[in-house]
Structure formats: structure tokens, C-alpha cells
Structure 1
Amino acid sequence: MGATEALREDHRLAWRLEALIVACCERLEAGGDVPLGDIEAISGVIDGFMDAVHHAREENTYFACVGAYGMASEIRAFLIEHEFARRVAAKVARHAARWRAGEDAREPVCRFLRAYATFLRDHMTKEEAFFDEAEEALSAEEEAEMRDYFAAAGPDAAAARRAEEAIAALERLRGDRPEAIGTAGSAAARWTLRRASSLA
């Protein structure tokens, strides 16, 4: 598997995250309850995987290599969108902290999560087309070299596994496992603790 396919694998996880965010927002907008721990787990995946792993892979390695083939305008647009996503994610985390402190911050949490889901749909759709174009330009050697670089970043692989675990635990929000509603606090705790230990 080359670097481009590795990034597509990231996207497959991100599409599952997008579905979770939408389900979470729909429940909140309908007046239902979503455990705050679930919101914090989603925020942790956004920060600890989407930004710290997926966007970092693109910004630190992939875009630099692909940019040599004349796709600078697309890359510039993606970098701007990454910055937008970081700002939205920071708003989610900020209002989740207000919620944790006892304030009624459900509406802004939901609003910024909706904005992040919209970003994911639009951004990943454009990136998938970009990946197709990049794959035509990149050599097999370049793909393999970048993929090896991804694999050498041990914390990235660990973060991807934690994100997968957290998303799998939270997918009940779509109704896949309704009997598990309200039991995901442990998933959030595992993410938070492992994320903290990885930064120590």
C-alpha cells in the first residue's frame, strides 16, 4: 500500500467520524441526550487523529512531494481548509469544556460539530479527486518512500488505533447498538488517558 492509499484509509475512518457527528447533532437537535463523554471522545478523535495524524501526514510529507507536479493551487486550498478545521475543532473543545463546567453549552457544541461535519464532507470529497490525480503523477518509489515515512512515525499508528477504537465504541450513536447508549464514557476516558500519555 502506497502513501495515497494510506491517506484514503484515513478517510475511511473520517467518514465514520462524520456519520457519528451527524448522528450526535441530530439527537441533540431533537432534544435528546448525548453523554458529554461522547462529545469529548469525538473531540479527541478530531484533535488526536484528524489533525495530529491525517493532516500532519499531508502537510509534512505528501503535499510537499505532490506539489512538485504542479498542483500547488489545490494544495494551497487544502491548507487553508485545514486551518479552518482547526479553528472549528477548537470551538468544539472550548464549548465542551463549558458544558463540563456546568454551563448549558449544547447549542454551540452542536453548531460547531455541524460545521466540522460539513467541512469533512466537502474537504474529503475534493481530496479524493486530488488523490486520484496525484496517484497518476507519483512514482511507485515515491509512494513507497512516503508510506515508509508514515509507518516510521510510531505515535501516528498508535493514534490511528485509538481513533478506531473510540469510533467503534461510539458508533451506537447511529443506532447500530442502541442497547449500549450511555455507556461510552470509558471510551472517552481511554482516549483521553492514552492521548495524554502519548504527549508526556
Structure 2
Amino acid sequence: MSGTETLREDHKQIRRLEKVIIKCYTELYAGKNIPFSDIDKITLIIEEFLDSIHYSREEDSYFPCVATYDHLKQEIRGLLIEHEFSRRIALQIKKHLKRWKEGEDAREPVARYLKTYSVYLMDHMNKEEDFFDKAETEVLSKEEELDMYEQFRSVMTISKKMEDMIKEIEYLENQPWVQN
């Protein structure tokens, strides 16, 4: 396995989450009730998996390694800007969910920001896949790919957290509101 393959594997899990998010905002717009605890799990996965694990792998290892070749710097800059955009959308989801839990009618903004997040995810992951293709074929050596993979694996707390996040995605996928 390589660093790029690890990031592509992350994307498989993110796409599963994306389907849950789409179902969630669709059900909210249809007036159906989704347990706050499940929406909390979605925001937790966004924070703990996408931001703390996946984006960290990219921002702390992958992008700097690719950038050392003075190649794809504009693409990296664009992806970093999108990561920040993602964080801002996630904050809005949490803010409006908190308002809703406190008794305000914030169903619509929660649904709207979940939808915004899902649109962002689709577009962003497609851009990253294209970036990975270029980095793999034009920049990174097999040794660098292996080194990154080993670096990703060496952080055991991330491995455990990753397992936990995958279990949370499975939990959400099996909820009645997702199954319907």
C-alpha cells in the first residue's frame, strides 16, 4: 500500500458518510425527525475523521511532500482553501444544531448546511482524486509513497480513531431513517 492508496481508502469511507449526510438533509427537508444524537455523530465524524485524520494526513505529510518538487502548488493551495471552507461549514452545522437542541426552530439551517457540506464533499473528493492521479504519476516516487504509508500507519492513536469512526459510519448507515 502507498500513501496515496491510504488517502483513497479514506475517500471510500468519506463517500459512505456522504450518503448518510444526503439522506439526513433530505429527510430533514421532508419534515422527518432525525435524532439529534445521530446528527451529532455526523458532526463528530466530520471533525474526527475528515479534519483530524484525513485532512491532517494531507496537510501535514502528503501536500508538503508533493510541494517539495515545486509541482502542483496551485492545486495544493486550492485544496487547502477548500479544507478551511469545510471547517467553516462544519462549524455552522454545529452552531445551528445547538440552537435547535435549545428549542429554536433551526431545522432548515441544519439541513441547508448539511446539504452544502455534501455538495462540497462531492466536488472536493473529485478534485483530490485528480490531484492524487497527478501526484502518483508525475511527482512521487515509490519510496516516498511507502514512507508516507508507514508514517500514516505508525500513529496508532489515529488507527484506533479511524476504526472508531468507521464503526460510527456503520452505526449511522443502519439507523431506520437511513434505511427507509
- Under TM normalisation by the shorter chain, which class is it? over 0.9
| Structure 1 portions without partners, runs of 5+ | 179-200
Cα deviations by residue, 1:64-120 (Å, 9 ceiling, x for unpaired): 011123110000000000000000001111111122222221111111111110110
Partner letter of residue 174 of structure 2?
Answer: R
State the shift of 1:177 in Å: 4.2
8 Å CA contact retained: 1:20, 1:173: no
Cα deviations by residue, 1:160-180 (Å, 9 ceiling, x for unpaired): 1111101111113686645xx
**Which residue of 149, 152, 159 corresponds with 2:151?**
149
Q: Does 1:2 align with 2:30?
A: no
8 Å CA contact retained: 1:92, 1:113: yes
Residue equivalent to 1:84 = 85
8 Å CA contact retained: 2:24, 2:178: no
Greater CA drift, 79-88 or 147-156: 147-156
How far, CA to CA, are the matches of 1:177 and 1:32 in structure 2? 13
8 Å CA contact retained: 2:20, 2:178: no
Partner letter of residue 68 of structure 2?
Answer: A
Residue equivalent to 1:40 = 40
Residue equivalent to 1:165 = 167
Residue equivalent to 2:15 = 15
When the two chains are superposed, the root-mean-square deviation of aligned CA atoms in Å is: 1.4
Structure 1 segments of 4+ aligned residues over 3 angstroms from their partners: 172-178
8 Å CA contact retained: 2:27, 2:33: yes
Under a length normalisation based on structure 2, what TM-score does the superposition of the two structures give?
0.94
8 Å CA contact retained: 2:172, 2:178: no
Residue equivalent to 2:68 = 68
How far, CA to CA, are the matches of 1:173 and 1:62 in structure 2? 35
State how many pairs are aligned: 178
Under a length normalisation based on structure 1, what TM-score does the superposition of the two structures give?
0.85
Partner letter of residue 141 of structure 2?
Answer: S
Cα deviations by residue, 1:176-197 (Å, 9 ceiling, x for unpaired): 645xxxxxxxxxxxxxxxxxxx
Partner letter of residue 25 of structure 2?
Answer: C
Residue equivalent to 1:194 = none
| Structure 2 portions without partners, runs of 5+ | none
Greater CA drift, 3-12 or 154-163: 154-163
Partner letter of residue 57 of structure 2?
Answer: R
